[in-house]
Amino acid sequence: MPDRVEVGVAIPQTFLTGSVDTRKIRAFLARAEALGFHSAWAGEQILGSIPNLEPVELLTFAAAVTERLRLGTAVLLPALRSPVHLVKSLATLDHLSAGRLIVGVGLGANVRVYPAYGITAARRAARFTEGLEVMRRLWTEPRVTFAGEFWRLENVAMEPKPLQKPHPPLWFGAHHPNALERAVARGAGFLGAGSSPTATFRGEVVTVRGLLAASGRDPATFTIGKRVYLAVDRDRARAGKRLAEWFGAYYGKPDLAAQVSVWGEPAECVERLAEVVAAGARFLLIHTVFDELEHLERVAAEILPNLPR
């Protein structure tokens, strides 16, 4: 287990007002790297009224303008994608980033979007698991023959293989016990959702630790982390209002902000983040949804030095 909590940041990806600002994204990434953050992350929401950039392409941009930051997806929804296309895109990104990619995956909660992708939500967990197996084999085997319920491959090759061996680390976003089992069985990490409170995450960590022990896995080889929506602002009412606006636009649930976010003065934010660390997180994905560049500086100067180690 690392001797300190690693901290990553969410790349500015949503734009509630105005146009997509690539200069802002570039400046954010450059400063995050200079400040020594562990990683920069992008999520997936393809459909929706809020302007939201596609994660693989956004991380490809990030790879081109950084050198040291690890780059992660939190999370991709492979059950909505072709594993053959996805495995190629991610292998390409792993090379373009010089082996800095972390692949976060999850099943997702919105079953209503499946028909828009030409599929049904029936057996979506099986589709998810089979797709990951197709990806693993294409990443690691010279030629693949595979006869599954959803995909069939006959002596096919996919090159180049990822730069990282055997493949980029897989982290799982999960809630259901079966999903947590998949995370431990197939993954290198578990990332708790930003849309769930610390108490829920604490229970998930207990389950994950039990599964690690039962499987004989060394806990040091498995990262446990959580996304945290954060707003550092001495004016709590102002910060709460801006968080609620974003949650309403992104999740359609403005009231969710108050249930899961951390906001307020720096000392209060440190205290709340310490609760997440005490619940078992050894990685924090800090997601600020407004004034991202300003928040980056404040997190580095006022939050990180005071986090528990």
Q: Is 168 left (phi over 0), alpha (psi -120 to 50) or beta?
A: beta
Structure token digits, residue 266 = 């720096």
Which pLDDT score is estimated for 17?
84
> Confidence class of residue 7 from pLDDT cuts 50, 70 and 90?
very high
Sorted by where each begins, the domain ranges of the chain are 6-135+161-306
Which pLDDT score is estimated for 137?
98
Half-sphere exposure (Cβ direction) of 16: Cα atoms closer than 13 Å: 14
Q: Is residue 4 predicted with pLDDT exceeding 90? A: no
Q: Is residue 281 predicted with pLDDT exceeding 70? A: yes
Helix (H) or strand (E) holding 228: strand 223-232
pLDDT digits (tens, 9 = 90+) for 70-82: 999 999 999 999 9
pLDDT digits (tens, 9 = 90+) for 184-197: 999 999 999 999 99
Angle CA(275)–CA(280)–CA(284) in degrees, nearest 5?
Answer: 75
Which CATH architecture group holds 6-135+161-306?
Answer: Alpha-Beta Barrel (3.20)
> Confidence class of residue 151 from pLDDT cuts 50, 70 and 90?
very high
Cβ burial of 121 (10 Å; 0-12, 13-18, 19+) is middle
Q: Give residue 164's Cα distance to chain centre.
A: 19
Q: Is residue 213 predicted with pLDDT exceeding 50? A: yes
Which pLDDT score is estimated for 81?
97
CA-based nearest residue to 68, from 31, 14, 104? 31
pLDDT digits (tens, 9 = 90+) for 32-45: 999 999 999 999 99
- When pLDDT is averaged across residues 163-170 and rounded to a whole number, the result is 98
Q: Is residue 158 predicted with pLDDT exceeding 70? A: yes
Cβ burial of 135 (10 Å; 0-12, 13-18, 19+) is buried
pLDDT digits (tens, 9 = 90+) for 233-258: 999 999 999 999 999 999 999 999 99
Q: Is residue 272 predicted with pLDDT exceeding 60? A: yes
Cβ burial of 101 (10 Å; 0-12, 13-18, 19+) is buried
Which pLDDT score is estimated for 1?
40
Which pLDDT score is estimated for 309?
77
Which pLDDT score is estimated for 3?
63
pTM of the model: 0.97
